[in-house]
Structure formats: structure tokens, C-alpha cells
Structure 1
Amino acid sequence: MKSGQTNIDPEWAWSAYQPEQPEDWTQRQVAHFYRRCGFAANPEMLQSGLQKSPLQLASEQISNRQESPQVEKVSASLARSVLATADAKNLPAWWTHRLLNTSVPLLEKMTLFWHGHFATGAEKVKDAQLMFDQNQILREHALGNFGSLVHAISQDPAMLIYLDSASNRKVHPNENFAREIMELFVLGEGNYSEKDIRELARCFTGWEIRRDQFYFNRFQHDFDEKIIFNDTGTFTGEQGVDLVLKQPAGAEFIVGKLMQFFIADEGLQHPELIQPLASQFRDSGLETGALLETMLSSNLFYSDYAMGRKIRSPVDFAIGLLNSFEGTTNLLELNRGLDELGQRLFYPPNVKGWEGGRNWINSSTLLARANLMQSLLVRDETRFGGGSLSQYCKTHGVTSLQEAVDWFVEILLAVPLSEPKHSELVQRCEHGSGSFENNLRRGLGLIVSLPEYQLA
């Protein structure tokens, strides 16, 4: 196999997955879909998913862009309480509550993707309302048109503050945003020149923030001629963004990042695999939803190239466990744990966001993951379906520790557990002292500490 090539046939890869027999469409595959396209699924969601085709499952999630009125009402109430404190440090608890209760998991998953892509940190911005407003922008455009999202984020006050572009003067254009919109947001490194950055920065002169709103100060805008990507004109900031968006490299860059986010951390970033979806993305006018429908219902998505080929982010690790069994817990405690694991929502480490993949895992974070789960599972306030874990198990016909281990493993793990490991888990649970409830929680803690649970 030549360097930079893969033996995966692109036509096969992006064709819709169609199980040959009904029994070929399994709970493991539905669970895979919800781990990637949301934050895992409870038993009822898994059973419901089995009644749909892979294409129908993807299409419904992509078309479902309106949060349920009940969730929206509670979320809005919590947001008002958080924003009343004027402390951005309270925002992560608000968002994790939404992640645990959302009726539109793919919309929230894509909001999280864009949060890492257009990384903006509350540590620098500080203003809770501005960070909240940006989160709403990401959600509004999460499954829509990528160009519209880039335009919206380009004039977002939180972004302008984060990239030091809140007061851009024609005598000294700030190049930070011009550089990042090309390198990190749209085109990827190497697909522009330093001259393009300098000229694009001139387009954004006069962009300011007044009373926490975007404001165009025409007296500080450079109206002179500019040359960007060999195009010449007296371009405005909006026209400058359009010039970046029309560059061919952008489609490949975004498709590659989405493949890494949804399909596999490593091994699939090959031009011949990216190109067909990039062409589709360009031809659609950069419509994210249509792109994802192809990607998330494809042969490649449900293949061994994808299943178990991602390392769970801290959010996927913790929220995924709770969502699998309709769990609730102390959100402040949960977010303190996520911070220790390296993923504090609204506080990405830098403008590049979270690197993900293998960077999530080391000896320190593995221990922190086990400790977080242990601390949550021993708390009485951590509930499952509104009650105890033993009650929740019994409502699903699980009445013994042997059955519980089997059930937990089936729902939680993306990769098969070896028979020796499975038997050892059962023995450790059955030989534990304490009540049935405590042994169940202990067993669940052991499972989520396994290397196999770190894979999604």
C-alpha cells in the first residue's frame, strides 16, 4: 500500500449501509450510532433504534433540530439562574444538564464539535452572557450551513474578544482573527499565504464591540483595495469571509475534521476517502446536515474501521454512562471531575480546542476517570431512572449480579470483552460484601474503569 493511500474503496465507504438480513442489524450497531451521534443511549432508545434502518436513524437525528418544549423550558430557567450570577464558571453545569436531558442528541453533539472547532475560552472572555450567546449561535447553526455559521461566529463578541479583535483599527489591523479563520476555522494550515492574512486583516478593520454587541465603525475601516487569494477589490469583512469560504481546500479540511470526530481518531485521513464527501459538501453549498447524513449512515461508519476506533472524551465518558441508564447526579461535582480529566466546557485549553484522541489518555487521566466514576457512584444523590440502580435494573428484568454484568457490558462497551475478563468481573461482583445495590454500583464502577470502556 502506497504512502497516503488506503485500500478502502471510497464508493463502498460512502454508500449507505444496508444490512443483508434483519439479524445483521444489531443493538451493538445502534449503540455505536448513539455513542458517536450523541452521548450514548438508554435501553428504550436502543430498542427503538433497532426498529429503524441505518439511514432512517441518521435522517431523523439530522432533521430533528428542535429541542423538546419541556427540556427547553427547564434549560432556559437554569440559564437565567446561571446568568444572574454573572459568573461564567457556572456555565458548564448548565450545559451538562442539557446534555443529560436533550431530546436532540446529535444537535448537542455537533454544538460540542463546533465549540472545540471555534474554540473560545471563558477564562479570557469572562463574560458569562457572551459565552452563553456564542453557545446558542453554535447550536442554531450546528446542523445547518457552514458558511452561515462562519459569518455568525466572525461577528460574535466572545470570539472577537478571545482573538483580540474587539477593536480593530485601520492604522494597525489585528491579524489574529484573519489567521485563525484560515488556519483553524475554514482552510487548514498551508492553504493560504502570509500576505493573504495581512490583506484579510484589513477587511476586518472597523469591527468593534459596543454595549456587548458587534458594531461596525466605518471611520476605522480600511476602504482601500486589497488582494486576497489573487482576487482584487475593496473588500469588506463579510466579503473577506466569503473569499475564504469559496477556497476549495475548505471542504476537505472540514470533512477531515468531521471524519475524525465521528468515525475514527486515526488512520482514515486519506485524500481519496475525503474527496467524495468534500465534493458533496461543496456542491451542496456547504450544508452540514446533508454531509452528515451520508457520513453517519455509511458502510464505513458501521465498519470495523470505525467501531471502537475512538477514545471517549471526558464528556462522552461520563455523560455516556449516565445517559445509558437514565442517570442523574450532582452536576457541580461532575464538572469538577471533567475539569480534572481535561475537558472543562466553555474553557478549551487554547484556540486549537481539545486535541482529542490519544491525548485524552495517560496514566494520570486513567486514574482520574476511575476516581470520578467512583465518587459519583457512591453518592446517594446519583440516581438511575429517578431511583436506585437496583430498582432500575429490576424494571428491565435484571435481578442477579451475573445478569447485571452481562447487561452493563452489552450496553456500555463498544468492543467485545474477553471471556476471562467477563468471568472475573462477575466473580468480583458476587464476592463483594454489601447490599445488592452497592455490589451493582461497584460492578458498574469496575466496568467503566476497564480499558475497553475508554473506547467508543
Structure 2
Amino acid sequence: MNETIDPVWAWAEYQPTAHEPWDVRRAAHLFRRAGFGATRAELHAAVEAGSAATVDSIMQSTTEPSEFLKEVDALATATLATGDVQKLSAWWAYRMLATPAQLLEKMTLFWHGHFATSAAKVDDAQLMFAQNNLLREQALGDFSALLLEISRDPAMLVYLDSASNRKAHPNENYAREIMELFCLGEGNYTEQDIRELARCFTGWEIKREKFRFNRYQHDTGPKNVLGESGKFGGEKGVEIVAAQDAAPLFIATKLVTFFVMEEPQPTEDLIAPLAQELRDNDMQIAPVVRRILSSNLFCSNMAIGRKVRSPVEFAIGFLRSLEGSTNSYELAENLKTLGQGLLYPPSVKGWDGGRTWINSSTLLGRSNLIRHLLDSDKTRFGRESLADYLRSQGAQKFDDVIDLFEETLFAVKIPSAARDRVRQLAGNSGGEDKLKDAVHALCTLPEFQLG
């Protein structure tokens, strides 16, 4: 399909039309993709403000208030004191639920999947916490700077065995992945480039949980990396990789897949203007993210409802759109069961995403997760019960509840037959249990899996 998309039209700024108006549906789409969701009140305020102003607000809301930072830092200190990395996953789940800077957290999740590092191997809460903060600090900044910092990050050094890279036996793991998975993609380097780049990284190690350069273990001889020759160290090696023409195209493609659509894969022609934007802005991420979120393609029916929700988007989106809170440790455990354990990506490739999120096992798991959230005495909605919260939102009858869910949580319309089934589940009693049954049924519809 995207072979017929005009790139000029695709990345031009969206202007509302009668056919594609700026409405609640598009506002909800923007908040789902640039964050984890929004309440009905936030969506209606966004419609009133207009599309351009809403994107501006999202892009500007990337600094977390000091009070929030104090709260999450205190929680992190208590969590790190336990040394339990799984508790750190719960801390991050809480942060996603509570942050007022949703785009910042969504981009932190993006980079975590891109520079995938698993606590299953690192097994050090402090190192994983430091990497998580690094990704957040650099999330919308200079990609080249982020690439250098992640290359020297202790958690990454452990994960890809770079901390044991010695001149007598260069370890090629990181050299391969920085080119294949982090920056250039297959076909844009040779096996010889990998061997030469690995020599650049010799002597990089960890001392007292910090990066250290051991000059006695560094190969000081001349190297030839991607056509450049010299007695390079690791920093110069990273710089050469980041300067390749393939880098902006590779990163822009990953951003479009993350924010716009996973299928079909975007063509090089479609991505070219965004790659040029990255080059023109010295690999700054924020300008290209803004352009994507403001674009015709992003706001079109080719993007809305064209992605499968990841487990994080599924669970955090459900709670955030209904002002929900819950036991973060149980939430993190449920996310892991569904295949997206925070800080536990399955491999250096991260999560495959897309249709791989959905199978008979994960669909049952998603159903069980929503059921658990609804039944748990730790879950509150706007600090109230579900029934009280929905009434406070003007949902007095069950048809109102369905409308509220469709507006805030569904990327596509709920089929009339599904509405009828859910309405029957709710019954006429209006009791809390019937309401939970009906809400659970809504969240297990195939349409709810799309974001």
C-alpha cells in the first residue's frame, strides 16, 4: 500500500478537512501513539485546542515536574535498596502510569526496545536503572550522543560482552550489533568492518559499576572501518558508524514503524524526507518525531487502528484512559507473562511486535489481565470504584459506558453485534459485578487489540 503513498503529502503538516476532521478519534490516536492514552476530558480539550496546538503541547511536555521527580526518585531508591531487578520493572510501570510527560516515557520505551538490554543477563538493578535513566535523558535529543553513551553504558557492556573485549581476543558482539541492529541495518557493512570495529572497542571495561578505559588492553594499531583508516579508539568508531548515510534512514524507519504503522513496511522513498530531516538537524530526534506526529499520514486512516497494541500499550492505556491506578508489581508481572517484561526484552533484537503480540495464549493472558485489574482491590479509577468513576464521567446507562470506551480506548468502531453482546452481559441490574463483566467483555473484543 505505501508504495502508492506520496512522500510529500505523507509528511506535510496535517490540515483538518471534512473527510478527515480533527475530532476525538484523531485526538485519541495521537495520545495513544505519542503516549499511553488520555481521558475523555483531555481528549475534548485537545479537540477544542486544535491539532497543531495539541502536538505542540505534547512536544513541550517533556520536562517532568520536580514534585513528580522527587516521588519517583524516592521510589527508585527504595527499590534499588532491595537489589531486585523485577521490582525495578514495577517502578517503571508505575512511572508510565503516573508521568505527566507521556511522550518522554514512550520514547524511553522505544529506545529500550531499540537498544535492547535484558536484566536476565545483566542481573544488576543499579546498572539497569542507570541505563533506563540514560535512555530517558537522551530520548528526544542527539542520536549520535545517545549512541556513544549507550556504547559505553555498563549494562550494555555486560549484556553484549563488551566489558571483556581485549586486544588479544577482540569480542565482536557489540561491533556487530551497533551496525546491524542499532544504527545501519544489514547490507550496510561487511564482516571485515565488524572485526575492525571490535578492535576499536578493546580495553573498554567496567570498574565499580562505571565505564573505564583500560589502555593496556586497547589495540593501538591502525584500523579500517567503513572506508575510514586510522588508529581509532571506540569513540571514533562510534562516530564513523553514526556518520554513515544509512544511519538516518535506519532510525527514521524504526520511528515510523513505532509511531505510524507496522504493516506494510515503509519504503525507502517514503522514509527519505524524514531521513533528510534527521541529517539536516544533526541527528536530533525531536524534530522528526514532531513532523511524524503532525503529518497527514499519521492522522490518516492508513495509520489509525493499524497497529496491534503491545502489552504495555494495552494495560497502561486501559488504566491511563480511565485515570486508573493499581498494584505496580502485579502489573509488571502480568506484562512479563504477556511477553513484554519491562527490562526483560527477549533478545538484543528487542520485541518483534506487530502480529507476534497476538496468539491464543496471549489473548487469554490479556483477558486475564483486564479481569485481574477489574477485580483487584488495589485498582481504583480516579480514586473511586469503577461504577462511581463512570458515573462521574456522565456514563449513567450502559450505552453511555460503551460510548465512553469507544471514544477513549478504541481505535476503531465497536461493531453493533459486539455492542449487543456486551449490553446483554451488563443486564438491567446495573450492579458492579455486571458492570465489570461487561467492561471485561469490551476489552477482550478483537477491535480492542488495535491501537
Give the equivalent residue in structure 2 for 1:164.
Answer: 161
Superimposed CA distance per residue, residues 347-403 of structure 1 (whole angstroms, 9 cap, x where no aligned partner): 110100001000000011101110111111112221100011111112122212221
CA contact (8 A) 1:35 1:320 kept: yes
* The one of 208, 218, 242 aligned to 1:211: 208
Give the equivalent residue in structure 2 for 1:106.
Answer: 103
Tell me by how many angstroms 1:22 deviates: 12
Distance 1:343 1:375 in 2: 17
Distance 1:394 1:354 in 2: 38
Q: Which residue identity lines up with residue 334 of structure 1 in the other structure?
A: L
Give the equivalent residue in structure 2 for 1:340.
Answer: 337
Distance 2:89 2:317 in 1: 16
Superimposed CA distance per residue, residues 181-220 of structure 1 (whole angstroms, 9 cap, x where no aligned partner): 0000000111100000010111111111001100011111
Tell me by how many angstroms 1:418 deviates: 1.8
Give the equivalent residue in structure 2 for 1:449.
Answer: 444
* The one of 239, 243, 267 aligned to 2:240: 243
Distance 1:254 1:22 in 2: 32
* The one of 389, 404, 409 aligned to 2:401: 404
Secondary structure, in 3 states, of the residue corresponding to 1:24? coil
Give the equivalent residue in structure 2 for 1:189.
Answer: 186
Q: Which residue identity lines up with residue 35 of structure 2 in the other structure?
A: G
TM-score (ref. length: structure 1): 0.96
Superimposed CA distance per residue, residues 29-56 of structure 1 (whole angstroms, 9 cap, x where no aligned partner): 0000011010011122212211233233
Q: Which residue identity lines up with residue 227 of structure 2 in the other structure?
A: N
Gaps of 5+ in 2: none
CA contact (8 A) 1:167 1:209 kept: no
Distance 1:20 1:306 in 2: 17
Give the equivalent residue in structure 2 for 1:20.
Answer: 17
Task: Count how many residue pairs are aligned between Structure 1 and Structure 2.
Answer: 451
* The one of 113, 116, 128 aligned to 2:113: 116
* The one of 378, 383, 388 aligned to 1:386: 383
Secondary structure, in 3 states, of the residue corresponding to 1:208? strand
Secondary structure, in 3 states, of the residue corresponding to 1:57? helix
Give the equivalent residue in structure 2 for 1:291.
Answer: 288
Q: Which residue identity lines up with residue 436 of structure 1 in the other structure?
A: G
Give the equivalent residue in structure 2 for 1:84.
Answer: 81
Give the equivalent residue in structure 2 for 1:6.
Answer: 3
TM-score (ref. length: structure 2): 0.97
Superimposed CA distance per residue, residues 27-84 of structure 1 (whole angstroms, 9 cap, x where no aligned partner): 1100000110100111222122112332332232223221122221211111011100
Distance 1:166 1:52 in 2: 51
Tell me by how many angstroms 1:268 deviates: 4.2
Q: Which residue identity lines up with residue 414 of structure 1 in the other structure?
A: A
Give the equivalent residue in structure 2 for 1:64.
Answer: 61
Distance 1:436 1:327 in 2: 20
Q: Which residue identity lines up with residue 218 of structure 2 in the other structure?
A: H
Give the equivalent residue in structure 2 for 1:358.
Answer: 355
Bigger mean CA deviation after superposition, 308-317 or 70-79:
70-79
Gaps of 5+ in 1: none
Q: Which residue identity lines up with residue 264 of structure 2 in the other structure?
A: G
Runs of 4+ with >3 A deviation: 20-23
Bigger mean CA deviation after superposition, 12-21 or 444-453:
12-21
Tell me by how many angstroms 1:436 deviates: 2.6
Secondary structure, in 3 states, of the residue corresponding to 1:166? helix
Distance 2:291 2:100 in 1: 22
CA contact (8 A) 2:425 2:437 kept: no
Superimposed CA distance per residue, residues 296-335 of structure 1 (whole angstroms, 9 cap, x where no aligned partner): 1100001111000000000000010000100011222212
Distance 2:253 2:51 in 1: 22
CA contact (8 A) 1:405 1:443 kept: no
Superimposed CA distance per residue, residues 423-450 of structure 1 (whole angstroms, 9 cap, x where no aligned partner): 222222125x6x5322222221111100
Distance 1:390 1:294 in 2: 40
User: How many percent of aligned residue pairs carry the same amino acid?
Assistant: 51
Q: Which residue identity lines up with residue 174 of structure 2 in the other structure?
A: F
Distance 1:368 1:451 in 2: 14
Over aligned residues, Cα RMSD in angstroms?
1.5
Q: Which residue identity lines up with residue 450 of structure 2 in the other structure?
A: L
Distance 1:252 1:190 in 2: 13
Superimposed CA distance per residue, residues 203-261 of structure 1 (whole angstroms, 9 cap, x where no aligned partner): 11111100110001111111111111111111111000000001001111111111111
Return closer, same or farther for 1:453/1:174 CA change in 2, 3 Å cut-off: same
Secondary structure, in 3 states, of the residue corresponding to 2:162? coil
- Matching of residue 278 in structure 1 with residue 275 in structure 2: yes
Bigger mean CA deviation after superposition, 307-316 or 23-32:
23-32
Give the equivalent residue in structure 2 for 1:316.
Answer: 313
Secondary structure, in 3 states, of the residue corresponding to 1:144? coil
Bigger mean CA deviation after superposition, 332-341 or 252-261:
332-341
